[in-house]
């Protein structure tokens, strides 16, 4: 991903899950961003679950907050959830509305990951910083990462 460098530019970040549990069944993302710098446009499920089902999608432009939950949708009780661990759980698309040197997209404390049996998996949060201006194209972190213990 190249860094946005002008107002009106659209870019995406990806929420990557790094879990030691192969039976992840639910990912709930609570994201915070500066609404004076960014406008959240869309949030879509990534390819982490082979059959994703969106349970919650709320974008609050005024507060700069996104609540998004996606789960593995099983068509039968015998079917297991398949997680593609190298794929993102979500894709979030933003538009730059005002230039600043950089801005953060933060994973908030209500972010959680659960197993298919509804057991919470401990989460270590790390966010992403987006560089917005510069004479050369700066590098950015293209994904936010959740690490489970």
Dist CA 140 CA 96 (whole Å): 15
Mean pLDDT of 86-101: 87
pTM value is 0.79
pLDDT grade for 138, boundaries at 50, 70 and 90 = very low
pLDDT surpasses 70 at 66: yes
Between 17-26, 51-60, 73-82, 118-127, the lowest mean confidence (pLDDT) is in 73-82
Residue with tokens 């270590």, as numbered in its chain: 124
Residue 75 pLDDT = 65
Whether residue 138 contacts residue 3, with contact meaning beta carbons closer than 8 Å, is answered with yes
pLDDT surpasses 70 at 73: yes
pLDDT surpasses 60 at 106: yes
Nearest to 70 by CA among 45, 92, 40: 45
- In the three-class reduction of DSSP (H, G, I as helix; E, B as strand; rest coil), residue 92 is classed as strand
Dist CA 76 CA 144 (whole Å): 32
Q: Could you say which architecture CATH assigns to the domain 10-122?
A: Sandwich (2.60)
């Amino acid at each position: 991903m190249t860094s946005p460098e002008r107002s009106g530019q659209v870019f995406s970040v990806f929420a990557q899950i790094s879990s030691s549990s192969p039976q992840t069944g639910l990912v709930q993302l609570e994201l915070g961003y500066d609404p004076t710098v960014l406008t959240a446009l869309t949030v879509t499920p990534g390819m982490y679950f082979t059959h994703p089902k969106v349970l919650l999608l709320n974008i609050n432009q005024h507060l700069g907050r996104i609540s998004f939950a996606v789960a593995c949708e099983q068509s039968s009780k015998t079917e297991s959830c398949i997680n593609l661990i190298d794929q993102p759980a979500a894709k979030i698309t933003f538009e730059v509305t005002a230039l600043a040197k950089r801005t953060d997209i933060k994973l908030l404390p209500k972010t959680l990951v659960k197993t298919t049996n509804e057991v919470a998996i401990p989460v270590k949060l790390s966010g992403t910083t987006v560089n917005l201006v510069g004479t050369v194209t700066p590098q950015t972190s293209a994904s936010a990462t959740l690490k489970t213990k």
